[in-house]
Structure formats: C-alpha cells, structure tokens
Structure 1
Amino acid sequence: MPELLPASSQPRYLQLAEGLKHAIEKGVFSAGGALPSIRQAAHTHNLSINTVIAAYRSLEDQGFIEARPQSGFVVKNQLPGLMRTFEKGTEESAASASVLSLIEQAFAMQQDPSFLNLSLACPDKNSDLFPREKLGRIMSRLVRQQASLISSYALPPGSLTLRRQISRRMQNLGVLSHVDDICLTHGCMEAINLALRAVTKPGDSVGVESPTYFYLIPLLNDLGLKLVELPTHAETGLCVDEIEPLLAEKQLQALICMPNLHNPLGCSMPLEAKKKLAKLVNQYQVPLIEDGLYAELQSHGTLPAVQSLDENGWVIFCSSFSKTLAPDFRIGWVHSTRFNRKIRQLKSLYSIAESQFLSETLGQFLEAGGYDYHLRKLRKNYAKNMNVAQALIADYFPEGTKATKPEGGYLFWLELPDPIDTYVLYQQLVRDKISLIPGRLYSASGRFSNAVRISCCNPVDERYRAGFARVGEKARELLASS
C-alpha cells in the first residue's frame, strides 16, 4: 500500500487519494485489480474509515476506480499513453479555405445548444467556473465611480493598472518584466498576429510544431508566410535538436512555439529543451513567438517560460485571460523588449485600442487578490474532467486508442487505430448532434487523419458520458468496416 503523499496543506483524504492515484499510474495496481479494503487502508495509514471512504470516492469521481458488488473498489481501465514523435510534415499544404470552412462549421455547432461539443476549447456560456459575480461587482462600481472610462480610448500600450498586474504575474513564469514592455491586445490571437507582422515579411518561412493550433494555418497563409511543420514529440513537445540545422541554414525566419501545455497535445517541454531553444534563437537571431495561453493552468505550479531564459530579446511572449478568467473580455497581451515599439505601432494601425473599462475591471480583480485561488479551483476541475473523460474513452473506444497525458489544462490529443478516419467520424457524428474536430485540421499538410483533440473545459455529466459512448460506438463501427 503506497504511503500518503506529503502535503500538509491538503486534507488527509486527498493525500491518500493522490498517493493511490500515483500508484495506479505507475502500475502498482493494475486495471481490474482490487484496492485494499476500506478497513485495511484505514488500519495501514491510521485513518478513520470515513477518511478512506472520502479518498476512494474522490478517485471514483475522477474516473480512476469503480465500486463493484462483492469486490469493493477496483481500478478502471486506463487509456494507454501516446509517446511518439510526429515527424516533419510534407511540403504539400492544405487549402487554407478548407481549414477555415471546417472551423466555421465547428463554431456554428458551438453556438447551437442542441450540439454536444467534445473538441472546442470554449466553456459553455452557462459555466460557473469563472468569477462572474465578482467581476460584475467591479464593473458596477467602475460605472458609478469612473463613468468616463467608457467614453475614452485606451491607446497602446493600454491600461497601466492591468499591465502592472500582468508584469507581476510574469514573474511566476520566471520573466522579469517591466510594464513598458507589455502591450494589451484583443486576445492571444491578435498578440500572435502582431508579433508575426513585427518580425516577418511575405514569403518568409515560419516553423511551427506539428500538430499545431488550427487557426495558425489560415493566419500564416493570409500573411503570405510559408508554414513549416517541425518534428514534435507527444510528451515533450518541439524536438529542439532537429531544428538547429534549419536555423543554421537560415531556412526559418521565425518560430511559433507553445512550450507549456501545448495546444492540441497538452504536453510541456522539459527545462533543458527550453534552455537550448532560447540559446538557439539568440545564437541565430531568429525571433521566437512563445504562446503562453494555457501556462497558468499547469497542475503542479507554473513552469518557466522560454522567455525567462532569453538573453537578448529574441523571444516574444503572448497570452490572454480568455482561458482563465473572462473569455468574452478578449483581453490579451504581448510582452517584448526588442520588438516592443514595432508591435505598439502595429496595434495602433490594426485595432487602435483595447477597452479601458474591461481592462480596468481585470486589473482591479487581480489587485484585490484571489486570482491564484481561482486558478487552483480551475485546475482541480479541469483535472477531474480530463481523468473522467480518459476513463470513459478507455471503456468505450476501440482497443489501440491512445492519448497524451497532460499535467494540467483541459486539452489532450487522442489517436485512434490507423484505419479510422476521424473526418469520416466527424461527418457521421454530426447526425447525432456531436461535434468532434478531425485531426487533419491541425496540420497544414493534412496529416493526423486518425486523431482528434478532446476538450474537457466542461463538466463530464451524463450528456457527455452518453456522447463519449456514442463516439466510441461509431469508431468501433468504422474500424470493423475497414
């Protein structure tokens, strides 16, 4: 029986649950095997029976174990991990228009309440995960006390109140930031867009991880840039050793990378890989646009950003509060030293300003404290959703299905047995009012035909359980017919 994990700030039942969870993940308790009885566990750890019951119920809620008559609690089937390298993509590019068309269809389904969406990283509009009431109170107070906010432009770089708070939070990523190096943007996508415009010109080649966030494909195409798919490992992210020749031979004029909680893989780069990446972009003077959108959702504290290892300003950091605090506010930022002036000029040119009213609302929320507590709640909810979703997939999907195992966030990458084409699966599920975005959308060369991204930003209730069961059923039918 594993020992309780040392965590004095946690209740005893959670310490026991974490210890058992790690034992299950390491294979100490195999799928179908029974856990120690409640009385035995209570005796072993000198705990009350109620404490052990609470620990087992927590693991049951997370999808790790289940209660069986006459057998007590047993370990549920675990989804095999996906640990392989996705090689460099082919030179053939998918039509940007077809990618945009599929994205448009997916977002249309998102707006239709009759559809169950298993892929889009958009929480349900009725979600209670975000501090709506507290933000609402701040907004009401600002309208009463500073009504002039809604009648003025907040020209770049934007609200000083919010930039000060962002600068403080950047320290959690290891970045010593100054408010003057931060420019507020309309979400993270505008931050990346402005960064690309600042460091490239039409015809340049931009290296991206493969698979990548699907909106980057039409964005790069629209800017007249060539997308180069770079080798990426499902567990450790960008294969840094393999990109040095491309940098040395000046085949890349910029890089876009998501080192922490990659979208769609969910993986994070090891520290040594980040150090080497920062060294390479400085050595060859190639700008790196670092997408940190999910960085604050990591389970075990915030990992350092690549920008924290940057020596001469070649790394540009982009993020927003859309995934952690207020999706509809669309407030993001870009942090840069070397390219800061150019980015501000571009911000003025393309969208002029961000809302001072919304920016001040976020700034005052962060000043008041409580954001870290809110983040801990988010991480806990998302971890539970992801564990339950993977357990359901292990139960319902065809044998041979594998998934990445992120340490945080709410996205993971699912790879089905090769004969299954997830675009065909997507088309068939539309009839069942289920939206599942096919893997080929995440590749400029149309790869990953047997993969999908799974999003767990919403609670896995009975509707979601039935949805996963139906997807598994259709996947098994496709596998049998192939």
Structure 2
Amino acid sequence: MSQFLYESIAERLRKNIESQFWSIGHKLPSIRTLSKTYNSSKISIQTALQKLEAAGLIEAKSRSGYYVKKQDQPHQPQHQLEITQPKKIELPDLFYQIMQKSAAFDIYPSAKIQPTENNILTLNRHINRAMRHQASSNALYYSPPQGNLDLRHKISQHYLSRKLYVKPEQICITAGCQNSLYLALSTSTKPGDTVAIESPAFYGVLQILQQLDLKVIEVPSSATQGILLDKLESAAKKWTLKALIVTPNFNTPTGSLMPEANKVKLCELAEKLQFNIIEDDIYGDLGFHRVVMPLKAYDKYNKVILCGSFSKSLSRDLRIGWIFSENDLNKITHLKMLTQLSNSESTQQGLTSFVGEGFYRKHLLQYKQRLLNQRNKLIELINQHWDFHFKYTTPEGGLCLWIELKINTDSVSLYNLAIEHNIVLTPGALFSTTPIFNKYIRLSYAHEFQKERVEALKKLGKIIKSLTV
C-alpha cells in the first residue's frame, strides 16, 4: 500500500518528535524550510503538519508557527499495579458467564443492522466466485497445511506497506488471531513455564494461559506508552520468562500505541534476557493518522512471533488469521494439523483475489476514517450526557475506549444491570486476574451511533450514576 507524499513527510516529522530530536515546546522549522528539506511542495508540508496537529503532537500558534505539544492528557485513566510472583490463572465462573452472555464490540446489539458496506459485499462475491469456480476440487481436497500459498503472498505484500518483509514460506494460515496466539504459545512454552502479559490484558489471552497451565506475571501498561519496559525488565531479571504476549499497536482495552523507541528497546530486552515475544497484531491496520510498523519490523534477533487476522479490520465472519515465525513454523504447522487440519480453501481463494485487486486497501481507507469519526462521536456523547466524574483514553487507532469510573463502582454489577436493558459493555474485571480494574469498563465505537445507541449511552450513564451516588 503506497503512501502519499504528505504521509511520508508526516511520519518523518513524527519520528523527530518521538525520538525527542524536537523536545516539548520546540518550534518546528518554517513551511518554506521544510519544503526545501524534503524537496516537496508547501501544500504537502502543510497537509503533513495538519495531520500531526490532528494527532495532538503539535499545535499552531497564531503568526508564530508550529510547536511540539506537551502530551499531557488529564482524562487518561491511571492505575498502580504491583507486580507479584508468577502464578497460575484460575478464572472464576463469572468470567465465563459474562463471556457467554456476550462481551461484544457493540453497546446495543438490538439496534437496527446497518446496511452492509460495498466492500464487504465485494468480499462475499469474491468468496462465492471461488466456491463456484473450483467447487469439485475444493470439496475433494484439503488446503495445504500452511494455507493457500497465494494468500500467504498477499499477506506478505501487505506487510511491505507497513515496512516489514515477511517471507510467504514462513507464514502459516490459521483460524483467526485467537487460534494464532494459542498455536504460538503452545509451541514456545510447556506447562509450568512463566509468561508475562501486559496489564490490562486481552481476556482471550487469559483463557489460553489457563488452558495451557502456564504461570503468569502481569506487567503494568500505560494507556499512552504500552507495556512499561522498566517494570518488565525488573520482572524478567527476578523470574525466568519464557515468553511475553503483547499488543504494541492499539491494544484492547486501552488502545495504547507503543512508541517506536520502545519497540526497539523491547526487542533488545528480549534478546538480552532471552525470552520470546508473541506479538498480537490484530489491530495493526487500524491506525487513524498513520501506518504503524509491527513490533516484528524492529526484531533483529528473531525473538518475535507475529500473529494477525482480518477479523477486526475486515470481517468477524472471516475466520482467517496467520502466524509468521522464522524458528518454530514447522512445530506450529504440525500442531495446526493436529488441532485444525486445514482452512476453507474457497474462503482463502476469495480473500486472495479481494486483497490482490486492491479492495482491502480501499476498505481500510474508508473504515479507518469511519472509526475515527465514531471514536470522536462516542467521546462527544459521553461528555455531553454523563454528568459524573470519569476518565477515558483517546486512542489513535483500534476499536474501543477504556473508561475509569468512580472508585466505588463495580463494573460487574454495572454489567449485570446494563444487560437487563440489552446494553452491552465489557467490565474491567475481565482484563486481569486481580481486582484492580473493577472500576473500569471498555466501550466500543465499532458501530455508528444511531438513535438507538445514543439512547443506550444515555441510559448507561443513568445506571452508572445510580451505582456511584
């Protein structure tokens, strides 16, 4: 996926800010100077600066120019997690009860279904065409164990747009990112090993860790920086880590984006202390203001196993994911054959032509803009209709807000009250083995805020207020 010139310039300017080449309060060079520096038009420079301003990295001062903006976000949730010794996970029955009821990316599933977008209809046509044209062959033969080779080539080509070269022969197609994480953990650990996770953590990972009988260390994660590397290093020096599971780009629930410098340091830390990193890249394509590089792109030591999927960026109905690994791919493929055998060949063929003809790129451009608008709308609505104290994240990508409520709020009780009104939220209790996130909730902006969802948000505000008075 090629970049416009202004996007490339914006990314280079951003790196200067994130590396602190330009510190807080520093005045950026003039548009004329930047135009000469980057050999580009003033319009391209102006557009790049506007992009950085929209991302909150710089601010314009009247008749003065652009300045690096202080990244203080007073609304950001804060938590203090003390790292304890490794322990095995024992999820309570309540965890599974909530999961069975639906911990979904829609606050009000009873709302009218929006018309299916044209790109999804096009995807379905590609899959249906593949089913018709090779019906007999696909019915009589399994897909290759590693998955359709043409699809692996398309995934490889797509990652080039994010500045990562992935060899097609080192990719294994899976049944989604959850399946990828399971395969990666199963082949890189054994029961009783210690694994680090960021906290708050994706609840699906907690389920896998319990199933595989692994010990866990929860490492605190910042809503703006991702996992705290100093805390991780201290834990890794104290206890022998076999692996770390991390979502560097727009993780759930906080939506945090790990800075480039931290990605470099994390890979160096994995080499230094000899643990593997399992990267969950499921939200990596959903950056609102720029294309972000996977952690794997910074990995010089072959310590990162990359897991991804189309389920969050394209369609939940597509149970197609992948793993990229230089070292363990044979073990991963053998375990896949044992547990799954193969993927739908027709679905893979249809997805291959959909991506190959540029429809996935077109979909992402439209979808990311829609998600940004819906994120802004959700923030506008809760600030307008919730008349009590709360804090929230403002992610630069992904699908959700992480909201901190008053200290005496129990998010599980809130969930149970809300579900009686067909309102779905995800209680913070799902994202840790400790009670530290009991006063937090995750809210999604994956759907447009039509009348029914606006009314659901208003009602949710009233329920929250009834619990905090």
Instruction: Give the TM-score band, short-chain normalised.
Output: 0.7 to 0.9
* Equivalent-residue separation in structure 1 for 2:112 and 2:83 (angstroms): 34
- SS of alignment partner, residue 229 of structure 1: strand
Q: CA RMSD in A?
A: 3.2
- SS of alignment partner, residue 207 of structure 1: strand
Distance 1:86 1:294, change over 3 A: farther
Indicate which of 94, 105, 108 corresponds to 2:101: 105
The equivalent of 2:358 in structure 1 is: 369
The equivalent of 1:205 in structure 2 is: 194
State which drifts further: 393-402 or 92-101: 92-101
- SS of alignment partner, residue 449 of structure 2: coil
1:353 aligns with 2:342: yes
The equivalent of 1:467 in structure 2 is: 456
The equivalent of 2:81 in structure 1 is: 87
1:132 aligns with 2:132: no
Matches within 5 A, 1:417-456: 417-456=406-445
Indicate which of 381, 384, 388 corresponds to 1:399: 388
State which drifts further: 132-141 or 372-381: 132-141
* Equivalent-residue separation in structure 2 for 1:192 and 1:356 (angstroms): 22
The equivalent of 1:141 in structure 2 is: 129
State which drifts further: 182-191 or 126-135: 126-135
Cα shift at 1:318: 0.3
TM-score (norm: length of structure 1): 0.79
Amino acid at match of 1:439: G
Amino acid at match of 2:261: E
* Equivalent-residue separation in structure 1 for 2:163 and 2:57 (angstroms): 33
Aligned residues with identical type, % of pairs: 29
The equivalent of 2:38 in structure 1 is: none
* Equivalent-residue separation in structure 2 for 1:136 and 1:313 (angstroms): 37
- SS of alignment partner, residue 245 of structure 1: helix
The equivalent of 2:12 in structure 1 is: none
Indicate which of 290, 306, 309 corresponds to 2:295: 306
Cα shift at 1:219: 1.4
Cα shift at 1:90: 5.1
- SS of alignment partner, residue 306 of structure 2: strand
* Equivalent-residue separation in structure 2 for 1:251 and 1:123 (angstroms): 49
Indicate which of 308, 317, 322 corresponds to 2:306: 317
* Structure 1, unpaired ranges of 5+: 29-43, 45-78, 111-115
Aligned residue pairs total 419
Amino acid at match of 1:162: L
Q: Deviation digits for residues 125-158 of structure 1, max 9, x if unmatched? A: 7552472321232233323332222332113211
* Equivalent-residue separation in structure 2 for 1:370 and 1:273 (angstroms): 33
Distance 1:18 1:312, change over 3 A: closer
Amino acid at match of 1:237: G
Indicate which of 240, 265, 273 corresponds to 1:251: 240
Amino acid at match of 2:121: E
- SS of alignment partner, residue 345 of structure 1: helix
Contact 2:55 2:396 in 1 (8 A): no
Indicate which of 373, 376, 379 corresponds to 1:387: 376
The equivalent of 1:283 in structure 2 is: 272
Distance 1:25 1:452, change over 3 A: farther
Distance 1:218 1:296, change over 3 A: same
Cα shift at 1:124: 8.6
* Equivalent-residue separation in structure 2 for 1:7 and 1:437 (angstroms): 46
- SS of alignment partner, residue 141 of structure 1: helix
* Equivalent-residue separation in structure 1 for 2:434 and 2:261 (angstroms): 30
TM-score (norm: length of structure 2): 0.82
- SS of alignment partner, residue 297 of structure 1: coil
